[in-house]
């Protein structure tokens, strides 16, 4: 009995030693911003595995995003790799505001994260057609930036409570742009699209399909940023902002509305959801083609049409309104805490009883 117990204890120790854990990688190649790389490789890995890059919020860490989101648990279930980058800056926000990070291989944080992904692809012989990225808040901002700067690297993205790529530009590293955060950076879909396209000039190949989440009660990154981000990717993919192919209530769960513009763009808007928006890992995996197993056919959508050029300046983006307004949906109502108006708003303008559409500022009216 004692020998059996000893053998059992030794086997348990071996199992613990072999168990997957979050591990830091320090030699992943060029790292111009000094970002830190952590990786989670499950014990049971797919052949030619997919990779998901999961990017934390301001004040967050790689470990916080590892423990606070479902991606690692889902990686155990489906056998994909998760990369958790960690910001090198005070406050742990990502640099989504410097010209370097908003330029392909420009030497900013976006370059460092791309290097992490490239290293993991080579190290684990990953499937290049199943490389994905997701992030929350500052991490969502970086997700949109990576989709613009490295469209050939990622196949799909999910951004929670972020802003359009380029919206946070200040000309400084890890700068804070209040105009953007407060939902006051408003432009046409053509201008937003060109802002993204200019981050990788001349590129006309496939681009990652985008899923954009936001909450109507977000007072950190104002809800207008949902509209502006949707405009940006509508412009990139050639959709018309304000005219989704489908509008699905209580999807993917109660209180959320899903706007389907096409196979490359989906918006998910949560009524009454604050900046503390929950990560829907299962829904993300359904969006990431092939991550649950098997190969996937890469998206072939390419941008061939040009849109009016715009350039980033060291001053805050000029606030404008789109030259054409999208049709306002009819026969719909916003629930309590939902948005019901404001500059650029194209959603429901009627509040469910007994709530009243109340102006909070020029850009945001809410059912209160």
Active site residues: 137
Contacts of 292 (CB under 8 A, 6+ apart): 78, 285
Residue-level length of the chain: 368
Contact criterion met (CB below 8 Å) for 304 and 237: no
Instruction: Tell me the angle at which helices 189-197 and 224-237 cross, rounded to the nearest 10 degrees.
Output: 70
Return left, alpha or beta for 286; rule: phi > 0 is left, psi -120 to 50 is alpha, else beta.
Answer: alpha
Contacts of 360 (CB under 8 A, 6+ apart): 366
**Phi, then psi, of 52 in degrees rounded to 5:** -115, 125
Which burial class, exposed, middle or buried, applies to 182 when counting CB atoms under 10 A from its CB (0-12, 13-18, 19+)?
middle
Contact criterion met (CB below 8 Å) for 50 and 126: yes
Q: Give me 244's structure tokens.
A: 């989704």
């Amino acid at each position: 009995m004692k020998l059996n117990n000893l053998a059992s204890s030794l086997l348990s120790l071996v199992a613990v030693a072999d168990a997957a854990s979050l591990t830091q990688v320090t030699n992943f190649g060029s790292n111009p911003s000094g970002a830190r790389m952590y990786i989670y490789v499950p014990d049971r890995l797919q052949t030619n595995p997919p990779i998901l890059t999961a990017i934390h919020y301001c004040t967050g860490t790689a470990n916080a995003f590892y423990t606070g989101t479902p991606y690692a648990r889902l990686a155990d279930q489906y056998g994909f790799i998760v990369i958790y980058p960690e910001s090198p800056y005070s406050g742990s926000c990502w640099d989504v505001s410097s010209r370097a990070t908003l330029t392909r291989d420009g030497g900013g944080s976006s370059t460092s994260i791309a290097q992490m992904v490239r290293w993991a692809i080579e190290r684990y012989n990953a499937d290049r057609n199943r490389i994905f990225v997701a992030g929350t808040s500052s991490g969502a901002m970086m997700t949109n930036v990576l989709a613009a700067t490295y469209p050939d690297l990622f196949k799909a993205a999910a951004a929670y409570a972020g802003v359009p790529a380029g919206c946070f530009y200040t000309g400084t590293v890890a700068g804070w742009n209040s105009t953007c955060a407060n939902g006051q950076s408003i432009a046409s879909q053509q201008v937003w699209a060109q802002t993204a396209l200019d981050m990788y000039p001349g590129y006309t190949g496939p681009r990652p399909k985008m899923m954009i989440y936001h909450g109507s009660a977000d007072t950190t990154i104002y809800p207008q940023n949902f509209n502006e981000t949707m405009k940006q990717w509508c412009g990139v993919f050639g959709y018309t902002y304000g005219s989704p192919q489908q509008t699905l209530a209580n999807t993917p769960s109660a209180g959320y509305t899903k706007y389907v513009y096409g196979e490359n763009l989906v918006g998910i808007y949560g009524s009454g959801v604050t900046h503390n928006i929950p990560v829907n890992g299962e829904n993300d995996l359904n969006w990431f083609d092939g991550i649950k197993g098997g190969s996937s056919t890469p998206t072939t959508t390419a941008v061939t049409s040009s849109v009016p050029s715009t350039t980033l300046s060291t001053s805050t983006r000029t606030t404008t309104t789109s030259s054409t307004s999208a049709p306002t949906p009819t026969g719909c109502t916003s629930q309590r805490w939902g948005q019901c108006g404001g500059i650029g708003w194209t959603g429901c303008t009627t509040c469910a009883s007994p709530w009243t559409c109340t102006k909070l500022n020029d850009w945001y009216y809410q059912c209160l």
